Structure 1
Amino acid sequence: MLGKRQHRGEWGVVPDGAKRNYGSRRFEPLPTPHAFWYLALCALVVTGCSSDGRTPLVIYSPHGRDLLTLLERRFEQLHPGVDVRWLDMGSQEVYDRVRSERANPQADVWFGGPATIFARAAADSLLEPYRPSWAGAIDPHGRGRGDLYFAAYETPVAIVYAERALKPQDAPQDWDDLLDPRWRGRVLIRDPLASGTMRAVWGMVIERGLKATGDTAAGFQWLRRLDAQTKEYVLNGPLLDQKIARQEGLVTMWDLPDILLNRRDGLPLGYVFPASGTPVIEDAVAVVRGARHRDAARAFVEYVGSVEAQLLATREAYRLPARLDLPADSLPAWARDVRRSMKVADVDWDLLAERGAEWMRYWDEHVRGKGR
């Protein structure tokens, strides 16, 4: 049996025998060849049901072990006939995999990632309409056209620094501070091509330049200057966190829930909300078109946005709920503090959904590694 990974992550396939001793499986990513994980997944899903007779519910998600395990256990308590199985990977990787499997869908639910990527999936006919009962409790912009996806959480991005090396006042306080010569060779970046979080930040930068100058050149020039500062584009989020904690780099940018979970677990990471504003990602959920277990998939989407699940994720996994009808005093102190202190950037998410893939291709071909 393959070894179990010990950190939150965004790659490969691992059956986790530690979950139960009667045959239920969970999948997690490791950096294995695509053919290996695809064949392993197919072999497990094709069985059609758990060894104990329950209905398997396959979820693709970037949300990591903490949140996925939390919701898995509670959902299975509420639905004892369902065996939740999840694959943890970057949200762009989820999109790529769902698209490649469209003729023979393996996933039932896509749980997590920017609504901009879900909008692309909707345009590609990869999602199935389903309107949960809580749809009216979220912002209208968080409701995908045709009821194809809905925002479940709001995910802010923060500037992150090595807490043992830098005092809070010495860390970058805004996006442009990352271009200061003092940070040259000390910036680490999660590889943007596989990460919906980083695609959202890159899109914000390019769109900001477009608003100011009428052209995307200003944004790409900013990213070229950041490229000159960057020591490494890191394979996944957990590795990024570890490298900053070990001071292999001193500063980065990453999503707030992951940083708060790592701080809870003892990693010396500090964070700053950029003074000019930070993108707050509409983190969505959807039923995959052609899902083999449609009823279970719809029940999971219904559960994710329920008051119980929203508060559970907020209190235990540092997720800001997308629901607008939760009383402020029901939220933990950290969530109230974030909403008070964070300035939300004005981002044209519809434009990012329309042009983001094109911008990322240009960045990869003409900016990555060219700033030095």
Structure 2
Amino acid sequence: MKKAKWIHGLFAGSLSLLLAACGGGGEAQPTANQASPQGEQTSAEPAQPAEGSKSLVIYTARDKNIFEIVLPKFKEKYPDIEVETLEMGAQQILERVRAEKANPQADFWWGGTQSALSTAAKEGLLESYKPTFADKIPAEYKDPQDRWYGEMLLPEVIMYNPQALKPEEVPKDWDDLIDPKYKDKIVIRGVLPSGTMRTIYGAMIYRQDPNDPQKGYEWLKKLDANTKEYTQDPTNLYLKLDRQEGAISLWNLQDILLQSKKNNHPFDFVYPASGAPILVDGVGIVKGAKNMDAAQKFYEFLFSPEIAAQLAKERFQFPSRTDISKDDLPDFMKNLELKPLELDWDVMAEKDKEWMEYWDQNIKGKGAQ
């Protein structure tokens, strides 16, 4: 697998991309023009634009705190474009775009997993559009036919409470997690409902031997033996770590940074020495979009260096563009090497259901037996 190197010595890395939506999804039922922080399905229909104005309908799985930065600035630059967002999960977006294929209601898909976007591309649901910044996005993070592009990267790492563990006591790599000394120190967000956790667990199986999942199952059994609890949702995971009812977990780096730097949780992270599964969150233009010009304008605006740098600084979002100046990024990003695990994401997607069902039925809660 070839490597993509960030200029200015930012990040070195390679990957191909994504499997499932990030693990922060919730149960809220959003409505049109109401940004949901959880990104679930909506039954709302796009509203009609004001007479004499241009329109842009966006189906999105992104967070409200991202809208708060991006949409006002876009409106400022393009005041004649009326923007409407409908929030739902990436899988729900795929299902809705598929159902509307004969009469597309959306113009732009903002926030999707590689798995969902690749499926949509194969089904002819996305337009081919080569943006002006195409050569600034590594091949690993985009569709070869320009039907989708990765906007940001989501590394999955080791999370810990520095009030409970000293830095020298923290696992430095994945295999350290199965050392018996960490028994009852690990708390895991419930695996099956979480795209983040399914990705991590699938990667742990793949890295042992993708052709013989039993080796990965044995590894996960040892991890289960060290796991004190599987929490119902991210909120309970944070609570357990806050209270030091567990000291270690596995989670996505962006959320760890948001929780620690914005919400004052005592969290820190270790980037695994052997590499991390790195997910890609992407975008695409819906095939047959009624507002193609507006969709292209939003595409270019969203990926602009100014917006990418602001989202990096204020929302800890790792941009996929390789030309963002080192001086425009927060300090923690400047010298962090995003080393990926060598994974075949097509195999990961194909085997996800089989592997996770086996784990749930035969491993969960049985590692110590």
TM norm structure 2? 0.78
User: Is contact 2:35–2:64 with CA below 8 Å preserved after alignment?
Assistant: no
Q: Which stretches in structure 2 are left out of the alignment for 5+ residues? A: 1-22
Moved more, 175-184 or 272-281: 175-184
Size of the alignment, in residue pairs? Answer: 341
User: Relative contact order, CA 8 A, sep 6+: which one is greater?
Assistant: 2
Distance in 1 (alpha carbons) for counterparts of 2:348 and 2:162? 33
Cα distance per residue 1:164-208 (max 9 Å; x no partner): 222222222221222233433442323444443333322321221
Moved more, 153-162 or 360-369: 360-369
Structure 1 pair 282–316 and aligned structure 2 pair: CA distance change class (3 A) = same
User: Is contact 1:10–1:237 with CA below 8 Å preserved after alignment?
Assistant: no
Distance in 2 (alpha carbons) for counterparts of 1:123 and 1:193? 26
Q: Does 1:47 align with 2:47?
A: yes
Q: Counterpart of 1:270?
A: 268
Structure 1 pair 237–132 and aligned structure 2 pair: CA distance change class (3 A) = farther
Q: Counterpart of 2:78?
A: 79
Secondary structure at 2:335 match in 1: helix
Q: Does 1:149 align with 2:157?
A: no
Cα distance per residue 1:207-258 (max 9 Å; x no partner): 21116xx422111221233233334444444543344223343211111111
Distance in 1 (alpha carbons) for counterparts of 2:245 and 2:286? 39
TM norm structure 1? 0.77
Which residue of the other structure, out of 35, 44, 47, is the alignment partner of 1:27? Answer: 35
User: Is contact 1:42–1:106 with CA below 8 Å preserved after alignment?
Assistant: no
Moved more, 163-172 or 283-292: 283-292
Structure 1 pair 362–328 and aligned structure 2 pair: CA distance change class (3 A) = same
Which residue of the other structure, out of 338, 341, 346, is the alignment partner of 1:345? Answer: 341
Secondary structure at 1:205 match in 2: helix
Structure 1 pair 111–254 and aligned structure 2 pair: CA distance change class (3 A) = farther
Cα distance per residue 1:74-126 (max 9 Å; x no partner): 222223323343536xxxx4224522662136655443354244324434545
Cα distance per residue 1:22-54 (max 9 Å; x no partner): xx83231569xxxxx75xx323x3433479977
Query: How many angstroms does 1:161 deviate by?
Result: 0.9
Which residue of the other structure, out of 91, 94, 105, is the alignment partner of 2:90? Answer: 94
Secondary structure at 1:316 match in 2: helix
Distance in 2 (alpha carbons) for counterparts of 1:11 and 1:361? 21
Moved more, 152-161 or 120-129: 120-129
Moved more, 238-247 or 328-337: 238-247
Structure 1 pair 334–316 and aligned structure 2 pair: CA distance change class (3 A) = same
Question: Partner amino acid for 1:256?
Answer: L
Moved more, 280-289 or 258-267: 280-289
Question: Partner amino acid for 2:171?
Answer: P
Q: Counterpart of 1:199?
A: 198
Structure 1 pair 131–262 and aligned structure 2 pair: CA distance change class (3 A) = same
Q: Counterpart of 2:226?
A: 229
Alignment of 1:1-372 (within 5 A): 9-13=24-28, 25-28=33-36, 41-43=42-44, 45-49=45-49, 55=55, 57-61=57-61, 63-80=62-79, 81-85=81-85, 87=87, 93-99=89-95, 102-104=98-100, 108-210=107-209, 214-265=211-262, 266-289=264-287, 294-339=292-337, 343-372=339-368
User: Is contact 1:127–1:286 with CA below 8 Å preserved after alignment?
Assistant: yes
Cα distance per residue 1:133-168 (max 9 Å; x no partner): 212211112121422211112222221112222222
User: Is contact 2:192–2:356 with CA below 8 Å preserved after alignment?
Assistant: yes
User: Is contact 1:189–1:234 with CA below 8 Å preserved after alignment?
Assistant: yes
Question: Partner amino acid for 1:143?
Answer: K
Secondary structure at 1:247 match in 2: coil
Question: Partner amino acid for 1:11?
Answer: G
User: Is contact 1:190–1:235 with CA below 8 Å preserved after alignment?
Assistant: yes
Q: Counterpart of 2:20?
A: none
RMSD: 3.4
User: Is contact 1:152–1:285 with CA below 8 Å preserved after alignment?
Assistant: yes
Flag the structure with higher helix content.
1
Distance in 2 (alpha carbons) for counterparts of 1:302 and 1:194? 33
Q: Which stretches in structure 1 are left out of the alignment for 5+ residues? A: 1-7, 17-23, 32-36
Secondary structure at 2:34 match in 1: coil
Distance in 2 (alpha carbons) for counterparts of 1:220 and 1:203? 10
Cα distance per residue 1:272-295 (max 9 Å; x no partner): 111222222233222345656554
User: Is contact 2:94–2:116 with CA below 8 Å preserved after alignment?
Assistant: no
Moved more, 345-354 or 146-155: 345-354
